[in-house]
Amino acid sequence: MPLYPFRFPPETHERLPAELREPLELYISEDWRDQLSESVQYVLRG
């Protein structure tokens, strides 16, 4: 089972500091694969 993209509940985002929200959104966006190297994608896919 792949780890990403993982959808966090909205209240999780509200509790995060602003500087952490944007990096996290890279992983949960539809374009997360474009943000990561091939080796990291391999690890995240499981």
| Per-residue pLDDT at 34 | 61
CA distance 18 to 37: 25
Number of structural domains (the chain) is: 1
Residue 35 is assigned to a structural domain of this protein = yes
| Per-residue pLDDT at 39 | 77
Residue 17 is assigned to a structural domain of this protein = yes
Is the pTM above the cut of 0.95?
no
Tokens of 38: 């091939």
Residue 3 is assigned to a structural domain of this protein = no
Residue 29 is assigned to a structural domain of this protein = yes
Per-residue pLDDT for the chain (46 aa), expressed as one digit of tens each? 455 556 666 777 677 777 777 766 655 555 555 666 777 777 777 6
| Per-residue pLDDT at 4 | 57
Residue 1 is assigned to a structural domain of this protein = no
| Per-residue pLDDT at 15 | 79
